[in-house]
Amino acid sequence: MAGWDVHTHLIPPTVLSAAHRGEFGLSVDSGSLVVDGQRLPLGRLADPAALLHWITEQSLDGAVVSVPPALFRYDAGVEWAELVNQGLRELATPQLRVLAHLPLLDPTAPSVAAGLAGEGVFSGFALGTPSYAGLDPVWRVLDVLEAFTLIHPGNSDDKRLDSFYLSNLLGNPYETGVAAASLVFADVPGRFPGIRFCLCHGGGVTAAVAGRWQRGIDTDRPGIEPVSLPVAEALRRFYVDDLVHDDAVLELLHKTFGPERVLAGSDWPFPMGSDGVSAARSATAEVLTRPLAKEVAAW
């Protein structure tokens, strides 16, 4: 039984070309893409053939590709999103399904999402973890599309995490938990049930604090508004990848989200990714990540 790895990354070739030209504030230095002070080592991140080799090595049908989170750049505007998406189009093949990038905080994001969905190229969308306040217009479009929507953490602003690689080891799980909480407490899973959200890294801290979230609702803590779903039911509307490096946590994911909602995700080619993909958990993603080909009315 073959399947799909839902969590892999490549740098779009258009981004690399722009970096070599010194555009969009990008540069290439000593084998790394330099973007907003961060350095992304090239090598496999810029090599689709290496990802195809991973697919063959893991006996998969294919992989779902999103850009590394350093490239979300939600302050860079619509032109940046267009550049990224053109590169993703160039990467798309029968074995490489691509997740579109949205100018998420721009007013045009809903119409951009609708337009991209109609192309029949993109298999959904990859979102970072900025504030999700005011995004109901985006959620409406993704709901109509029943879009696979990968939530991938960006960098935490907490400077206490600068030591010991904690920006990744602790910051990433925390950022994903903040994103999941923002969706749950805004009743997004209840109001927009068609969206197929998938949380990276097993949902980060989400499963561990789900009971605490419900307690906050039950005791009417300040700032919490009524929601249509209990937390446990809301979380059963999410998918998560299985990238947790711990069998006990994987068991918790099964109990929290449901075993059928835990997908194979490797985070290829990053060092914090996995060395192999579960064949059983890779099968579900084939249907979930088929390219969108749905027209949406103007927004």
Give the SS3 label for residue 36: coil
Q: What percent of the chain has pLDDT over 70?
A: 98
Residue 200 in contact with residue 154, Cβ under 8 Å?
A: no
H helix or E strand, kind and range, residue 28? strand 26-29
Cβ neighbours, 10 Å, residue 13: 15
On the CB side of 144, CA atoms within 13 Å amount to 19
List pLDDT tens digits, range 9-52: 999 999 999 999 999 999 999 999 999 989 999 999 999 999 99
Domain boundaries, the chain: 4-11+49-289
List pLDDT tens digits, range 180-208: 999 999 999 999 999 999 999 999 999 99
Q: How far apart are CA 94 and CA 4, in angstroms?
A: 12
Q: How far apart are CA 245 and CA 60, in angstroms?
A: 20
Q: How far apart are CA 163 and CA 186, in angstroms?
A: 33
Q: What topology does CATH give the domain 4-11+49-289? A: TIM Barrel (3.20.20)
Amino acid at 9: H
H-assigned helices in the chain:
13-21, 48-57, 77-91, 109-117, 136-145, 166-169, 171-185, 188-191, 206-218, 231-235, 247-257, 279-282, 285-288
pLDDT at 146: 97
List pLDDT tens digits, range 153-165: 998 889 999 999 9
DSSP 66: E
**pTM of the predicted protein model:** 0.96
Q: Is the peptide bond before 269 cis (omega within 30 degrees of 0)?
A: yes
Residue 180 in contact with residue 188, Cβ under 8 Å?
A: no
* pLDDT of residue 275 exceeding 60: yes
H helix or E strand, kind and range, residue 71? none
Amino acid at 62: G
* Model confidence band, residue 82 (pLDDT cutoffs 50, 70, 90): very high
Q: How far apart are CA 6 and CA 144, in angstroms?
A: 22
Q: Which of 85-94, 102-111, 248-257, 279-288 has the lowest mean pLDDT?
A: 279-288
Q: Largest Cα–Cα distance of the chain, in whole Å?
A: 56
Nearest to 106 by CA among 80, 131, 74: 74
Nearest to 188 by CA among 218, 143, 223, 255: 143
Q: Which of 14-23, 138-147, 197-206, 277-286 has the lowest mean pLDDT?
A: 277-286
Give the SS3 label for residue 289: coil
